[in-house]
Amino acid sequence: MTGAEGISTEALLVALFIFVLAAFVGYEVVSKVPTMLHTPLMSGANAIHGVVVVGAMLVAASAEGPLRMVLALVGVTLGTINVVGGFVVTDRMLEMFKRRPGQSGPGCKP
């Protein structure tokens, strides 16, 4: 049983369904982010696609043979850099946007 044969047509269609809906959700959610937060947005979105580390972990779990093990190792390393670095750097940026006392209103366009 391989991964390729393991995926049924039905599962693929469900995945397609999710894909289309997620694209609309992403579009809607992100259109509301103000320009001032575009750098953290880019960096935060960057961290979220770091979920690819899960894909690399799944490859690692079933890896056989030296070639695929090496691919999994490099994949896990790169994916970890993406996810860890992405979230830490975004947090560091957003820390600077914290509200200071005596300041009124969010001061940004919706």
Scan residues 4-43 and list those touching another protein (CB under 8 A). 4-7, 9, 11-12, 15, 18-19, 22-27, 29-43
Work out how close the CB of 8 gets to another protein at its nearest, in angstroms, rounded to a whole number: 9
Work out how close the CB of 17 gets to another protein at its nearest, in angstroms, rounded to a whole number: 10
Work out how close the CB of 45 gets to another protein at its nearest, in angstroms, rounded to a whole number: 5
Residue 3 contacts another protein per CB under 8 A: yes
Token readout for 32 is: 């509301």
First to last CA, the chain: 51
Number of residues that bind another protein (CB under 8 A): 97
Token readout for 29 is: 């959610």
57-96 binders of another protein (CB under 8 A): 57-69, 71-96
Q: In this structure, are residues 47 and 87 in contact, taking their beta carbons and an 8 Å threshold?
A: yes
Q: In this structure, are residues 70 and 44 in contact, taking their beta carbons and an 8 Å threshold?
A: no
Q: In this structure, are residues 91 and 47 in contact, taking their beta carbons and an 8 Å threshold?
A: no
